[in-house]
Structure formats: structure tokens, C-alpha cells
Structure 1
Amino acid sequence: MILGPVSYLDCLVFCLLLAPQLLWHVGLFDTLLCVLQALPFLLVKLPMSFVWERYLCPRRHRAPFVQVASPFEDFVVRCVRYAFSSIPPRIGRVFFAREVAGPFLRFRMLRHGYIKSPIHWREHHEDSFKGIWISRDLGRKPDLVLYYAHGGGFSMGSSHFYLEFLLAWLSALILAGYDNPAIFALEYTLVPDALYPTQALEAIGGYRHVLSVAQDPSIVCVSGDSAGAALILSLLLHLGDDERDGPSHGRMQLQKPALALLISPWVTLVSARHKNTASDYLDAHQLRQYGRQFAGTKISENDPLVSPGCCTDMPWWKRSSPSKGIVITYGEEEVLAPDIEDLIKLLCEADVVVGSKREAGGIHAWPVASLFLSSSKAQRLKGLTTVTEEIRRRIP
């Protein structure tokens, strides 16, 4: 089920769905204060920078992303850049909440003619974790299981917000030749409701459940974007950790997955190599704040189990690597790119099977964002097609 691109009508409907949730969860005063603080950006800075950089500035001086982006893509990314750096997470998390994302997806399905979805999903709850199962036939054994952890700086995001992306990914997997692929999207607890190791324990519990459904680790691919990809890397290190005590309780009884596929992984929570770029919407200062909040005070922010990019133990990475390796896709212009490239180099030196795709001029988690923002179907599905082909090639 692959819906059309997000339009300005969709944006209007999203705002109408968002407004009452902000009033309910944030309050009238804080919502109005956030809106008032955003007005100088919305009324002055945004239109001026958009017109100047897009139409008046010589092309060679434009940011790499602006040179290739459509006006709608450029406009939305500028808004996201402001939101990431300026809107508090407790407000930002409402944008991705189930109460907004669920009705918005239903609206988009109705607008694009999917009164009844050909793909089904259901929520799954256990004491130690929760998430959403997605499949064409939930009652039949899958021939591929994709275990996904969403991004959002550990402070925002939800599997419900990612549901349209995952529905499209499942459709791509079916088109690639899988008969009944399934996706389990982990709904981990956000900061500050809980700090590490809660999310790691939930990831391990969810993975244990996925293995019980798949009944064969050779058909399991673990995946995630941004903070979710960091959580997947942490999961792998837990699975390969045979020397240290950690929160994994019984992790060595779990078999490793066949493949890990990571989209713009946040490999090092707090890094001197995080530098803002003219193209990306991530903000290095906010990343450091989110990273320290997630780690809390009970573990060092540089501990490999909470910040996988800090792990330089090559045998540990070798023990942790899936049998079919690790595939990483990222944007050339994103704030996280230097750390991602360091990890790729380290994994290669550790003799881990690594595949990587660097998108020229690309920004953070673009395979996810482009599905909603790009106008042509080819551009919208480019990132999904790339990762789906990697899965099909490595898990036939």
C-alpha cells in the first residue's frame, strides 16, 4: 500500500488534528507561547531565506540539498530544521503521537482510495515491550520478518507515525518477491518517561518475541533509523556481549538475526564530530542534549552499550555481527555522517560484512522523509527500493 505524496491539503489536515492534541497534552498557555515564539521564523526568516537561497542566490552557493530538492521538500525541511532546534521535545512528541498519526493515516488512505487496506496491522502488548505487527496475512507464518525501531532522538516519535512508511516498505517487500513478509515495529518508552536501560530491555524483549514468531533467525532483519538504529546497534552489542554484565538478562540465549539494515544511525550519542551543515535539519547542540538525557546518570554517555559508536573492540563487533552483515545507508550532508563513516571503517577492519550507501547531497533519514515529501513516485521510493533490494539479495 503506497499512498501518494503529502500535499498542502494533508498539511492543513495534520494541523487540524494536531491542534486539539497540543491543547490537551501541552496546555493552552504553552501552546500559544510556542506559536508566538515561532512567528518571527514563520513570517520573516522562513520566507526570506527560502526566496533568497532558492531563487536569488547563485546556484553554486546554494546548499547541496537545496540544489536537488523540490520547493515543497525544501520548504518542509526548513520547518523541520527550526522545529528540531527550537521546539521542546515535550511539545514535539505530540506531533508524532498515536492520537495524531492514526487519524492522519486514515485520512490519507481515504483520500487515496484505500477504504479497506490490503495490508493489516495490529497492536501487540506484553509486560516488557509493545509494538505493532504489520503483514498481508497476520495469521500465516512469515517468510521474512523485519524488526524496526523508529527514530526521534529517543524523546519523540512513535511506531504509529511510521506506520505509513512501514506499510509502503511491506508493499515493496511483496513486490520484491516475498510471499508473506511481516514487520514488527517496536514502541519503546520515550525520554523522559524512562531512561536507559529501559529502551534496551524493551528492544531485547521485542526481539525475543520476533524470534518466537519467525521460528528461524535466518529470516529476521533488524532495522531502524536514527535513534532507533542506535537502539538496534545496542541490541546487537548486547547479543554479542559475553564478557560484561548488562541489562540484557539472558541475551546469550538469543540467536543473532540474519541481517541488520540501518538508516542514518545515530552511532555516537555525544560526539565532537557532530557539526551542523547547511543542508541537514539536525542540530548538533540538540543532539548532545538528547543523548545525555537518554543516557541519564546511571551509565556513562560513552559506554558502548548506550552509545555503540564508542565501541572500538573489534572482536566484540565480530561476535555481534549478523550472519549476512550490516547494511548502512546515510546522507552525505547529514550531521551524523562523520561518525557513521568511522563506524563503517571500524566494522570493515573488524572483518564484519558491511554494505553502505552514501547519498550524494543527502540529509538525515531521507529514505523515510522522501516517501512523504518527494513528488515523483521514483524519487519517493528510491530509498525504499535500495534497502529492499539489499534485503532480498542477502535473505533470498
Structure 2
Amino acid sequence: MVKLWQLLLQNPIRSCRFLYAFGTQILLIGLKAILLPTLPRYQSTRLQLHRAYWSSSSYYFPEIIHRLPVTNCPEARARRVGSKFTGYVIPGTAGLTVSPGDKRRCVVIYAHGGGYARGEARMYLNYMDRWVKGAAEAGLDIVFLSVEYPLTHEAPQPAQQEAFLSAYGYLLNNGISPRNIIFMGDSAGGGLCVLSCLNAKRNNLPQPAGAVLVSPWLDMSLDSFKGGNALVETDYIVGANLTVPTFVNAWLNGEPGDSPRINPLYCTTSELEGINPVLILVGGGEFALQEGKDLAKRLQNAGVRQHLEVEWGQMHLYALGSKWVDPVVRRKTDGIIYQWILECLAND
């Protein structure tokens, strides 16, 4: 809240636009509820208010949503590691060790989202703290290694895959079995996890125990944006029809958007065969919904164990479990993640 008010005071013109957009949306939500009380609604009032705040933020103050940039972060919360890559161990007091055969402890290599153009490795500290605590209550010991991969303005693809796989190699070289490693990421980070699994297979590296994809952004062919993506009307990324193609073009580095090297939805069945089990969590109201469904179908056809969870009405990144998300949905989703990881660790 303090950071929000600092941003508003430092940027008065943007602040007026943000407050106008947020306030107007709240007014329209209220008027619709009063004047059209019997009209069926796809999203709950809580979700509509969530969308009003996050859509206004994403358009005028995108840094608000994940409190960027991260500053004054003590090493006890996030400890920097790596030489060929940069990563943060979360919690910082945890060691990157796993006893051989331990089926209740793992290291989760995390790739943050942001269209490959925004974000940083420590921006989900609050969520990771919650997952570590919740996992412990479920009998699961989790340590995160969040990767600080290059953003597009620093280097286009394949630099992001190289950084992520360097983090994977770092764990393997430190004696951690791939059976105790989970890939996890959101949005572009979810796509990066899949690409890294495929790249590991091409380079004869062992597959991790499993993957957890939160609202994965995958389709660089922009197939779901042909004619416009109507799901921006129920998602908070209201400018996606304009911003997503821009992010894609900056990241592609001359590679065709339908190349299987950077688009798992265009991989052949044989290319997908043998990769690790994949959990896909998508919201029913988010712009990346179809991509998640398409990936699940492709993996199923390739004989890869997968589970697709589509949560009614939820928006992009709902599975991170922000305070806006209904606590019932948050607890349910966290439980799905913990159970999936435990099943992956138990799978020989």
C-alpha cells in the first residue's frame, strides 16, 4: 500500500488516469448490479472488482501488480547463487541439498512471467513464502530457485532457455537428482518451462520430475490473436491485442512463430513424447486459455501425463493466489499444486 501511494504521488497525471479508470469501472459494476440484477454474470463481483483494479494498474502502473522493482530484500528471504546464471534461493536460509531417494523434498526452478520483457526473479516472494509454508503443512519440503533470465531488451531468445537450463545444470552438478527437481513458471515463464523440457530432451539431459505451469503463454504464432482475442474482455490485460504481438516480435529474433524450437504447440507428437508430467493451471476468463487447452491436448496425444485445471471465470495468473483471489479458490489451487508435486516425486 505504501508503494502504491508513493507511485501515485510521484506521477500525478498517470495517477489521475489510473484513478479515473478504476473508479469508472467500479461505478459501472455497481450500476449493472442495480439496474440489471437478473442478468446472468460470468464473473463474480469480487472478480469484477479484481479486474477493475488490475486492468487499471496494468495499463497505467504495471509495476504495481507485483510491487516492482524489488528493493531492500534481505538475504534470508532470497540468497543469490550462480556464476553462469543468476538465481535466488528462496527462502534464503535454505540449502540446495536433497538426500537421495527423498520423495518429500524438492527444488523448484522457477521462471517468472512478464512477456519476456518485464519482471524479475524475486517479484513473487510473497507467493513463494505462502507455497513453502503450505507445502510444509501438506508434508512437502520445497525450496525455490528463481531464475533471473535476460529480458528481451538485454537478449532475445534463446538466451532465456540457456539461463534456465544453466540453473538446471547447476542443481544436477551439485548432486541433486532430476527426480527431486520441478520446473515451474507463470505466463512466459510457463512457456519457458516447456521449452526447457524439450531442449533438455534434445540435448539428452534427464527430465525433471514434473512441471507446474501457471497460465502458460506458449503460442508465438499468435493464432488466438487472429481477428483479436475476445478474452481480453474478461481478463485484466486489457491491452493484450496490442502488447502481446509486440512482445512476440521483440523476442522471436528472426525465428518463425510456428517453429517448434520456440513454440511447443507446433512440435510433433514424437518431439513431445517422453517429457516430464505437466500440470496446467488456467483461468476460464484469461487470454491464454486456449493455449493451455491446446497444450494439454497435444501432451495427451503424445502419451505425456498431464492435468489441465480450468478455474471458472478466473483471470491470468490466478493460480499465483494474490489477495484478490477468493480464499476458497486459492486453497484449492495450492492443494492441487502440492498434490501434483508429491505425485511427481513419488513416480519412479
| Match of residue 351, structure 1, among 303, 310, 328 | 303
Code of the residue aligned with 2:258 in structure 1: it is: N
CA contact (8 A) 2:106 2:143 kept: yes
Code of the residue aligned with 1:317 in structure 2: it is: L
Matched, 1:146 2:108: yes
Q: Corresponding residue for 2:101?
A: none
CA contact (8 A) 1:234 1:304 kept: no
CA contact (8 A) 2:54 2:65 kept: no
| Match of residue 286, structure 2, among 334, 337, 342 | 334
Code of the residue aligned with 2:305 in structure 1: it is: V
Q: Deviations over 1:173-202 (max 9, x none)?
A: 211113x43111111111212211111111
Q: Between Structure 1 and Structure 2, which shows a larger proportion of helix residues? A: 1
Task: Give the match's secondary structure for 1:261.
Answer: strand
- The structure-2 alpha-carbon separation of the partners of 1:121 and 1:38, relative to structure 1 and needing over 3 Å to count, comes to closer
Q: Deviations over 1:213-232 (max 9, x none)?
A: 45211111111110000111
Alignment of 1:354-365 (within 5 A): 354-365=306-317
Structure 1 alignment gaps of length 5 or more:
1-10, 24-31, 107-116, 242-250
Alignment of 1:128-277 (within 5 A): 128-135=84-91, 138-139=94-95, 141-142=97-98, 143-178=105-140, 180-213=141-174, 215-241=176-202, 251-252=203-204, 254-274=205-225, 275-277=229-231
- The structure-2 alpha-carbon separation of the partners of 1:97 and 1:156, relative to structure 1 and needing over 3 Å to count, comes to farther
TM-score normalised per structure 1: 0.75
Q: Deviations over 1:338-375 (max 9, x none)?
A: 1221111111111111111110111111011x333246
Task: Give the match's secondary structure for 1:395.
Answer: helix
Q: Corresponding residue for 1:81?
A: 55
Structure 2 distance, partners of 1:184, 1:204, is 12
CA contact (8 A) 1:334 1:364 kept: yes
Task: Give the match's secondary structure for 1:129.
Answer: coil
* Identical aligned residues as a percent: 20
Alignment of 1:49-128 (within 5 A): 49-57=25-33, 58-59=36-37, 61=39, 64-65=42-43, 67=44, 69-70=45-46, 74-84=48-58, 86-87=59-60, 92=62, 100-103=69-72, 120-126=77-83, 128=84
- The structure-2 alpha-carbon separation of the partners of 1:54 and 1:94, relative to structure 1 and needing over 3 Å to count, comes to closer
Structure 2 distance, partners of 1:338, 1:51, is 31
Structure 1 distance, partners of 2:7, 2:213, is 30
Residue 159 of structure 1 deviates from its aligned partner by 1.7
Code of the residue aligned with 1:309 in structure 2: it is: L
Residue 41 of structure 1 deviates from its aligned partner by 5.1
Q: Corresponding residue for 1:14?
A: 3
Alignment of 1:316-331 (within 5 A): 316-319=271-274, 321-322=275-276, 325-331=277-283
CA contact (8 A) 2:183 2:208 kept: yes
Structure 2 distance, partners of 1:359, 1:157, is 25
Aligned residues: 332
Q: Deviations over 1:118-166 (max 9, x none)?
A: x75311131x311111248524723211111111111111121111111
- The structure-2 alpha-carbon separation of the partners of 1:123 and 1:222, relative to structure 1 and needing over 3 Å to count, comes to same
Give the RMSD, CA atoms, in angstroms.
Answer: 2.8
Structure 2 alignment gaps of length 5 or more:
99-104
Code of the residue aligned with 2:332 in structure 1: it is: K
Code of the residue aligned with 2:52 in structure 1: it is: R
Q: Corresponding residue for 2:248?
A: 291
Residue 52 of structure 1 deviates from its aligned partner by 2.0
Q: Corresponding residue for 1:383?
A: 333
Structure 1 distance, partners of 2:289, 2:177, is 34
Residue 94 of structure 1 deviates from its aligned partner by 8.7
- The structure-2 alpha-carbon separation of the partners of 1:213 and 1:337, relative to structure 1 and needing over 3 Å to count, comes to same
Alignment of 1:9-48 (within 5 A): 11=1, 13-16=2-5, 18=7, 32=11, 36=13, 39-40=16-17, 42-43=19-20, 45-48=21-24
Residue 92 of structure 1 deviates from its aligned partner by 4.1
Matched, 1:315 2:249: no
- The structure-2 alpha-carbon separation of the partners of 1:318 and 1:17, relative to structure 1 and needing over 3 Å to count, comes to farther
